[in-house]
Chain A
Amino acid sequence: MGGRDATMVLLDKNGIRCDGRKIDEPRKIMIRAGGLKNADGSAYIEFGDNKILVGVFGPRDVHPKHMSNTDTGILRVRYHMEPFSVDERKRPAPSRREIEISKVIKEALEPAVMLEKFPRTAVDVFIEVLQADGGTRCAALTAASVALADAGIPMRDMVAAIASGKVADTIILDVNNEEDQAGQADMPIGYMPSLKKITLLQLDGVLTPEEYKKCVDVGVKGCEIVYELQKKALHDKYFGNRDD
C-alpha cells in the first residue's frame, strides 16, 4: 500500500501535526447542499482530502415489499467507495468494510430521522466516496444528514460527525489517514448538537478512562464546529439570496 513513512513525525515538539494542523484543529471542511437534480435530496462534502457525494430518495414505496414495516418507515443506507477513491484500485463490489459502515451510518442516522410519520415507505441514502483520506464514515454521516434535510425528511436534529484520537500520547481532533494508520487510537463520534445526544461512538485502540473522557469531549467540540458548517450549507441553499 501507500508506503508508510516510518520516520514520519506525527506530532512535533511545538504541537504541530504531520499535516501542519494544531492538535485541536479539524481539516478544511466544505459542505454543499443540493447539486443532484434527480435525487430528492443531495449533499457534497469535502473533508480535507475526502470527497463524498450523497443522494437521498424518499419516502417512497418499498421494494421488495416484504421489507416494508406497517408501523414505520425504514431507512436504507448504502456506503460505497469508488474504484478510484484510494491509491490502489478498489474492486467495486461491496466489501465487508463497506457493508459494516453502511450499517453503522444507518444506525447513527436513525435516532434523528422521524420515519414513524411515513409507515410502509423507505428512505434510501446513497453515499459515494469519490476520494478517501481517513475519516470517511464521519464525513459521510455529516453529508448524509445534510442530504436528508435537503430532501425534506422530518428530523429531530442534524447529525454532525468527526473523529478524535490519540497520536504520540496526545488527544487530537480529526484523525487523518496517516494518523489513523500510525496513531494509537481513533474514535469516530456522531452527535446531535441541539439535543446533545451521541448517535455514533466507535473506538479503535487503547485509551485510559481519563483519555477516553477527554477524547469524547474533544470529539463533541469538533462536532459542534462541523454542525455550524452543515447549518451554513443549508442556509446558503435555502435562504442564501433572501433579504433578512
Chain B
Amino acid sequence: MADRRKYVIPGDIVTSGPFRPEQNVILEGNNIIATAVGISEIYEDSVKVIPLTGKYLPKINDLVIGKVVSHTSLSWELDINSCYVGFLPAMDVFGRDFSTHADELSSKLKTGDLVAARIANFDRTRDPLITISDRDLGKIDDGVLVKISTSKVPRLIGKKGSMIQMIEIGTNAAITIGQNGWVVVSCETPEGLSKAKKAIEMVNEKAHIANLTDLIKDMLDVKDES
C-alpha cells in the first residue's frame, strides 16, 4: 500500500498537499510535519509516521499485559508500562453482584500478579479503564515476563502473525504479546523457554534488519539439531 517510505525526525516535512494527517504527524500550513523519530508512510489520502521510540499510550481495544500494583476496596490498579495506571473495577471480576463486604479483592488478584487485559475505555480526562471479562483474558498463572520496546511489538508479531507463530512452533512455547511491550512466555521445557526468550530479545534488538525472520528461523533450527 505504502508507495513512499522515509526516515524522519521531529520537524521534518513529510510531504505537502491535501493529505489527512494520521498518527505522529501534524498539519502546519500546507506541509505535513513529523512529530516523532520514525518511518513515514504516505498512503493515497493520508500520511502517518511509525514511531521508533516512545512510551506506550493506551488505545481502546488493545490487549495489554498488566501487573497489579495495588487495590482499594472497589478496584485494582495495574501497571501497564504507560504514563497512566490501568484501572480495573472489582465488578468486572466478581460480576454484577459484587459487594464490598462479602468479596475480598486480594482473593482473586494479589499485588504482583500478571494479568492479560484489554483496554475497555480511555480518554484524556481519566485513567484507562481495563477489563478482563473476555475469552483469553485474566490472570496469568505461569510464564516469564519479557519487556520489549513498544515500537517493536508489530515486528514481533510480524505480517499476519508470521514471526510469533514461527517462534511458537520453533520452541513449543505459548507467547502472549501485550501492545504495551510486555510479553509473557510460558513453556513446558526450560530449554524452549530460554530459546523463546532469546528469540524475542533478538527481535527487540535487531528489529530493523530486513531478513530477521530467516535469522530467527536459523537460530531456532540450529539449536534444535545441536
Which residues in A have some Cβ–Cβ distance to B below 8 Å? 40-41, 58-61, 70, 112, 114, 117-121, 149-158, 192-195, 230-231, 234-235, 238-239, 241-243
Contact = CB atoms under 8 A, between A and B. Distances in A.
Contacts of A153: 54
Nearest to A237: B37
A159 to B, nearest CB: 9
Contact of A152 (B37, B125, B208): B37
Nearest to B82: A59
Interface of B: 7, 9-13, 24, 26, 28, 33, 35-37, 51-55, 57, 83-84, 124-125, 151, 208, 210
A239 B8 CA distance: 9
Given A61-B83, A114-B35, A119-B125, A152 B9 contact: no
Contacts of A59: 55, 83
Given A40-B55, A151-B54, A242 B208 contact: yes
Contacts of A193: 11
Given A154-B24, A156-B26, A234 B35 contact: no
Contact of A194 (B33, B51, B124): B33
Contacts of A152: 36-37, 51-55, 151
Contacts of A194: 11-13, 33
Contacts of A112: 10
Contacts, number: 83
B124 A156 contact: no
Given A149-B36, A157-B10, 8 more contacts: A112-B10, A119-B124, A152-B52, A152-B54, A155-B11, A156-B10, A192-B11, A231-B9
A154 B35 contact: yes
A235 B55 contact: no
Nearest to B39: A239
Nearest to A33: B37
Contacts of A234: 9, 37
A117 B151 CA distance: 18
20 contacts: A41-B53, A58-B55, A59-B83, A60-B83, A70-B125, A120-B84, A121-B83, A149-B9, A150-B37, A152-B37, A152-B52, A154-B10, A155-B10, A156-B33, A158-B10, A195-B33, A235-B7, A241-B208, A242-B7, A243-B210
